[in-house]
């Protein structure tokens, strides 16, 4: 470029943006298009030649002279054509183009039509012309301009979201690459130590594939994360995205499905093509069970669109070249419904299970979620971890969040242990029913019911210690007796289970002992006790009569329960199983009642204190029952 050329340049070397330049705003085109369409019409409307305007008297004179050839009458307006131009004298002519315009008087003129006919003038009549104004033209054009603008806005929005009719089969996965800031790392994932070891191997392989290739090793093509909801499967996937440093395609299984036939398979092809172009890379499919269900299952056959999508996914997994460094990572909490073809070696040939966290894991998870939350000195995360058996990582996060909201509501500067305990009860049992009115008689029944649970739990030898007893009504119960094991158990003896059933039936036994009656308040207790007793007989071989036996009961999750249950035993064996279940329940009921009769004084004291204080802790129970 010469020194005299003063045209400014963009950073990329192009000319500056103009109205129609390469980088111009396209909206000008959509504004000008309607104007270009209407310009010829507007030009015709405003430039119609009406000829010379003459007086009405002159018009009548020219008619009588026979110089008017034709007239067109628009209401009071008359337009016509002279046979020849009119000389006014002195060389001045009007009507050089022989066109003229005049106006009939408002009061009318009956003679003019007769005169026109006598002089053989061609008469044409038209409706009166509306006056052409700026606002009239604007109101005619504005609706069309508005419709065009709305249509283009919708079209551009659909195109931007990738939902245009031509993009419906394109890959919808979210891409995380080196330029994407993913904050989650392996250090942010507490517990799941075995899972982290497995996925760290994948990350290391993607970063250093040559170290594995020289030893002839091949990493799995597919890794399936299996575990209950809230145990950290998706969190682990985000950590892999943060650690890998390679393109990471994240997509939910439901994103493959669409109302159009064949779209799911098309999106699978597009996803794998994009991943191959940027290898080494990772594909993450969350909720794999939504697209990878067992084919042809159910009473009504399969789902054609889902099965086509699954077939395409199986084909893509098989089509991986041994030299390709593309790993498919998937997560599901329903491995039992996945198609067997997905799980064979060569596809998802490695399965990593994310279990519910242990006590140590829960303490680590709580420590991570406690970051950024001011905790009072009274808070012991180790104690909270012990009091939350069965909580998943998501449950623990929600627990601390509820405690923080409660502390903020009370205008506190920090979260204390009381807030966490209250949040735990809220998560487990629901909100307190403060507006619930309970009669004195019902309140007494509930107090003895919960006291019966607490006494049997405290006095029987093979039970977990009592943590808390309460008769505060909540959404899911009228009261609660909570036990906390000294340490986590993975194996349960028959003695422990028998005593556990006795504790569960202790509330009903207390009602019978004290009131010589029973209520419907033991419904959930009976359900839980019956479930444990049946498993002892049919699954765990803990019946002396039945012996070492497994019922083989299975349920096809695609069908109704009554239709799908399958039993590998005869009708007579079924009766024996029922008799054994009844025997276990009756024995537990008898044990609970005998225990309460033996410690009747403690039962009464505990119930009285519950009626007075509504909630008792572990130390209170020990003090009342002289166990301290």
The set of catalytic residues is 450
Q: Provide the token pair at 5.
A: 């050329």
Task: Determine how β-strand 122-126 pairs with β-strand 77-82.
Answer: unpaired
The DSSP output letter for 521 is: G
Task: Determine how β-strand 350-353 pairs with β-strand 222-226.
Answer: parallel
Q: Provide the token pair at 76.
A: 């009071």
CA proximity to 169, closest of 234, 76, 39, 256: 256
**Distance (Å, rounded) from C-alpha 391 to C-alpha 299?**
36
Q: Is the dihedral of CA 507, 513, 514, 519 positive or negative?
A: positive
**Distance (Å, rounded) from C-alpha 499 to C-alpha 461?**
8
* Cβ burial, residue 48 (10 Å; 0-12/13-18/19+): exposed
**Distance (Å, rounded) from C-alpha 422 to C-alpha 429?**
10
Own/partner contacts of 338-342, CB < 8 Å, gap of 24 or more, are 338/288, 338/289, 338/292, 338/293, 338/294, 339/292, 339/293, 339/294, 339/295, 339/310, 340/294, 341/314, 342/288, 342/292, 342/310, 342/313, 342/314
Residue in the structure block whose two tokens are 């283009």: 152
Which residues, in sequence order, are CB contacts of 284 under 8 Å at separation 6+? Answer: 237, 240, 241, 248, 249, 250, 251, 329, 330, 331
Q: Do residues 532 and 500 lie in contact, with contact meaning Cβ atoms separated by under 8 Å?
A: yes
**Distance (Å, rounded) from C-alpha 625 to C-alpha 599?**
8
**Cα 387 versus chain centre, distance:** 31
Q: Provide the token pair at 94.
A: 């009007």
User: Angle between the 494-504 and 440-459 helix axes, to the nearest 10 degrees?
Assistant: 170
Residue in the structure block whose two tokens are 């018009």: 59
Say whether the peptide bond before residue 134 is cis (omega within 30 degrees of 0): no
């Amino acid at each position: 470029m010469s020194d005299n050329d003063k045209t400014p340049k963009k950073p990329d070397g192009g000319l500056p943006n103009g109205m129609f330049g390469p980088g111009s705003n396209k909206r000008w085109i959509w504004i000008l298009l309607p104007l270009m369409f209407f310009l010829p019409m507007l030009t015709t409307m405003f430039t119609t030649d009406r000829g010379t305007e003459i007086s009405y008297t002159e018009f009548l004179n020219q008619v009588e002279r026979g110089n008017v050839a034709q007239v067109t009458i628009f209401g009071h307006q008359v337009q016509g054509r002279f046979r020849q131009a009119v000389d006014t004298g002195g060389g001045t002519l009007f009507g050089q183009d022989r066109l003229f315009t005049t106006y009939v008087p408002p009061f009318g003129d009956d003679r003019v039509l007769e005169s026109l006919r006598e002089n053989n003038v061609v008469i044409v009549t038209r409706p009166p012309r509306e006056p052409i104004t700026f606002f009239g033209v604007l109101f005619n054009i504005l609706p069309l301009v508005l419709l065009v603008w709305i249509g283009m806005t919708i079209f551009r929005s659909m195109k931007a979201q990738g939902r245009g009719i031509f993009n419906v089969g394109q890959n919808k996965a979210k891409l995380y690459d080196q330029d994407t800031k993913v904050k989650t790392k392996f250090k942010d994932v507490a517990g799941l130590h075995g899972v982290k070891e497995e996925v760290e191997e994948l990350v290391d392989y993607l970063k250093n594939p040559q170290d594995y290739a020289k030893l002839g090793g091949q990493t799995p093509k597919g890794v399936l994360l299996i575990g209950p909801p809230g145990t950290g499967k998706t969190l682990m996937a985000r950590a892999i995205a943060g650690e890998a440093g390679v393109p990471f395609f994240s997509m939910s299984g439901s994103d493959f499905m669409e109302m159009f036939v064949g779209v799911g398979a098309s999106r699978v092809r597009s996803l794998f093509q994009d991943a191959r172009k940027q290898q080494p890379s990772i594909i993450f499919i969350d909720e794999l069970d939504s697209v990878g269900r067992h084919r042809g299952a159910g009473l009504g056959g399969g789902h054609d669109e889902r099965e086509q999508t699954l077939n395409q996914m199986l084909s893509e997994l098989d089509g991986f070249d041994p030299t390709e460094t593309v790993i498919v990572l998937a997560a599901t909490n329903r491995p039992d419904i996945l198609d067997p073809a997905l799980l064979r070696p060569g596809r998802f040939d490695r399965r990593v299970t994310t279990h519910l966290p242990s006590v140590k894991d829960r303490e680590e998870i709580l420590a991570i979620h406690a970051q950024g939350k001011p905790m009072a000195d009274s808070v012991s995360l180790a104690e909270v971890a012990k009091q939350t058996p069965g909580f998943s990582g998501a449950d623990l996060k929600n627990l601390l969040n509820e405690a923080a909201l409660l502390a903020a509501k009370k205008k506190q500067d920090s979260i204390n242990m009381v807030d966490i305990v209250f949040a735990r009860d809220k998560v487990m049992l629901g909100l307190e029913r403060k507006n619930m009115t309970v009669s004195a008689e019902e309140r007494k029944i509930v107090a003895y019911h919960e006291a019966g649970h607490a006494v049997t739990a405290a006095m029987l030898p093979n039970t977990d210690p009592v943590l808390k007893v309460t008769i505060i009504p909540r959404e899911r119960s009228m009261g609660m007796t909570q036990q906390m094991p000294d340490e986590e158990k993975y194996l349960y003896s028959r003695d422990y289970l028998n005593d556990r059933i006795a504790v569960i039936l202790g509330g009903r036994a207390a009602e019978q002992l004290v009131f010589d009656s029973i209520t419907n308040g033991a419904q959930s207790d009976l359900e839980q006790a019956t479930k444990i007793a049946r498993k002892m007989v049919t699954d765990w071989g803990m019946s002396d009569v039945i012996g070492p036996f497994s019922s083989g009961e299975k349920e096809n999750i695609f069908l109704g329960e009554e239709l799908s249950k399958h039993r590998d035993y005869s009708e007579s064996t079924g009766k024996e199983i029922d008799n054994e279940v009844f025997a276990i329940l009756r024995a537990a009921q008898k044990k609970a009642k005998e225990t309460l009769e033996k410690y009747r004084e403690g039962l009464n004291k505990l119930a009285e204190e519950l009626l007075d204080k509504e909630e008792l802790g572990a130390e209170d129970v020990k003090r009342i029952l002289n166990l301290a």
